[in-house]
């Protein structure tokens, strides 16, 4: 037996003052967020993508926001008939930002639960004073914050640049307060949705890189298949089967704008009932949440 004298009196009579569950969860989430930004093998990809997104935002949006132009529509081709606020801020596909966003979501979320399941440290986390839901929230926070960092923040920078171009008048903010609200809600919506889907793939395929690849293929694969399918069936409801289209449709709803999409190089509008749109969204996001919860509960019961 080891020499007892090696241990301090404080160790022997240790009585931990443990913090509350919400603080534990937020702490876990923040540590997870900062670990995504570390300059290590994985973090460097995240940082590179963040850099690309910010570079794209600055080049494409901020520099194009000329004086007097509320939106860059006037500088765009007249054939771009659907020019509206959403085209400037919301449509991640327009500027190519969504490609980076989905890639970032895939890479950053791939290992969040997969690594815990793979090395089985999930059991240790769940044996702490946190519930399964607490654990999921703690794993949701890092990817959610990261995606907010590349959706809400760049768009708000663009918004502020426009305000600056308009002479920093408070009236301008008053007149565009709903636009600002839409930017924030849309960023939160995209971030939350991609985070939940990312965590689902991380749970489903408990290998980090495979989960990231599957996530990416799921988003863009279904996108291409659905667009091709739409050419044949010509029914807008098939678009709801593509997560990218579905999120974009809801995003347009947030801005109160008419949805359009490009199919075979042609811009098309759609007609869908709100019930169909939000029903599909609830099914997919709710299903993802329930699935992750079920998978983890199965892990708790089995070694």
Partner 1 sequence: MIEAKNVIKKYGSVTALDDFSVEIPKGKIGILGPNGAGKSTFVKIALGLITANSGKVTVLGENLDKHSVDIRRKIGYMPEHDCIPNHMSGVEFLIEMGLVSGMDTSSATQRTHEILGHLQMGEEKYRKIEEYSGGMRQKIKLAQGLIHGPDIIFLDEPTSGLDPKARQEMLDTINGLTEISNTNVLLSTHILQDVEMVCDHVIIINNGKLQMKENVKELMKRQSDFIQVRVGGDIDGFVDILKSKEITVTTDGRILRVPYVSDQTFQQIIDAAVDNKCQLYEMERSKVTMDNIYLEVVE
Interface ranges with partner 1 (CB under 8 A): 1-2, 4, 6-8, 10-21, 23-24, 27-28, 31, 115-116, 119-131, 134, 300-301, 303
For partner 1, give the closer residue by CB, 128 or 177: 128
Q: Which of 118, 144, 132 has its CA nearest to residue 202?
A: 118
Rounded to a whole number of angstroms, the minimum distance from the CB of residue 116 to partner 1 is 8
Partners of 267 in beta bridges: 262
Rounded to a whole number of angstroms, the minimum distance from the CB of residue 12 to partner 1 is 5
For partner 1, give the closer residue by CB, 116 or 253: 116
Rounded to a whole number of angstroms, the minimum distance from the CB of residue 144 to partner 1 is 19
For partner 1, give the closer residue by CB, 11 or 170: 11
Query: What is the distance between the alpha carbons of residues 83 and 98, in angstroms, rounded to a whole number?
Result: 18
Question: Running DSSP on this structure, what letter comes out for residue 60?
Answer: I
Question: Running DSSP on this structure, what letter comes out for residue 267?
Answer: E
Rounded to a whole number of angstroms, the minimum distance from the CB of residue 145 to partner 1 is 18
Let me know if 181 is exposed, middle or buried by CB neighbors in 10 A (0-12, 13-18, 19+): exposed
For partner 1, give the closer residue by CB, 122 or 246: 122
Q: What are the residue ranges of helices labelled H in the chain?
A: 9-12, 21-36, 43-56, 85, 97-110, 114-118, 122-126, 132-165, 170-175, 177-204, 208-233, 243-255, 274-301
Query: What is the distance between the alpha carbons of residues 4 and 76, in angstroms, rounded to a whole number?
Result: 77
For partner 1, give the closer residue by CB, 139 or 230: 139
For partner 1, give the closer residue by CB, 126 or 192: 126
Rounded to a whole number of angstroms, the minimum distance from the CB of residue 296 to partner 1 is 11
Query: What is the distance between the alpha carbons of residues 215 and 102, in angstroms, rounded to a whole number?
Result: 8
Half-sphere exposure of 195 (CA within 13 A, CB side): 24
Is 261 strand, coil or helix?
Answer: strand
For partner 1, give the closer residue by CB, 24 or 148: 24
Q: Which of 117, 119, 104 has its CA nearest to residue 292?
A: 117
Query: What is the distance between the alpha carbons of residues 13 and 4, in angstroms, rounded to a whole number?
Result: 13
Rounded to a whole number of angstroms, the minimum distance from the CB of residue 293 to partner 1 is 14
Rounded to a whole number of angstroms, the minimum distance from the CB of residue 125 to partner 1 is 6
Query: What is the distance between the alpha carbons of residues 258 and 256, in angstroms, rounded to a whole number?
Result: 7
For partner 1, give the closer residue by CB, 22 or 96: 22
Rounded to a whole number of angstroms, the minimum distance from the CB of residue 280 to partner 1 is 34
């Amino acid at each position: 037996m080891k020499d007892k004298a090696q241990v301090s009196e404080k160790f022997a009579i240790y009585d931990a003052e443990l913090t509350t569950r919400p603080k534990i969860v937020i702490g876990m989430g923040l540590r997870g967020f900062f670990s995504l930004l570390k300059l290590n093998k994985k973090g460097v990809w995240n940082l590179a993508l963040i850099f690309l997104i910010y570079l794209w935002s600055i080049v494409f949006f901020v520099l194009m926001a000329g004086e007097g132009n509320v939106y860059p529509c006037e500088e765009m081709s007249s054939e771009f008939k659907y020019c509206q606020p959403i085209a400037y801020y919301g449509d991640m596909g327009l500027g190519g930002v969504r490609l980076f966003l989905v890639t970032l979501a895939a890479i950053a979320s791939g290992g969040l639960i997969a690594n815990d399941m793979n090395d089985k440290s999930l059991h240790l986390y769940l044996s702490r004073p946190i519930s399964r839901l607490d654990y999921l929230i703690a794993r949701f926070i890092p990817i959610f914050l990261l995606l907010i960092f590349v959706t809400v923040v760049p768009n708000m920078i663009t918004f502020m640049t426009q305000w600056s171009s308009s002479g920093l008048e408070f009236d301008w903010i008053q007149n565009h307060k709903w636009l600002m609200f839409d930017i924030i809600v849309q960023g939160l919506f995209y971030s939350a949705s991609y985070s939940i889907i990312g965590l689902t793939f991380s749970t489903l395929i408990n290998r980090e890189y495979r989960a990231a690849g599957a996530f990416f293929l799921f988003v863009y694969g279904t996108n291409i298949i659905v667009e091709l399918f739409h050419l044949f069936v010509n029914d807008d409801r098939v678009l709801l089967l593509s997560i990218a289209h579905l999120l974009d449709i809801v995003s347009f709803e947030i801005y109160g704008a008419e949805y359009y999409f490009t199919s075979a190089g042609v811009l098309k509008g759609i007609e869908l009932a709100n019930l169909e749109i939000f029903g599909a969204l609830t099914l997919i996001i709710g299903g993802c949440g329930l699935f992750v919860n079920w998978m983890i509960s199965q892990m708790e019961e089995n070694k």
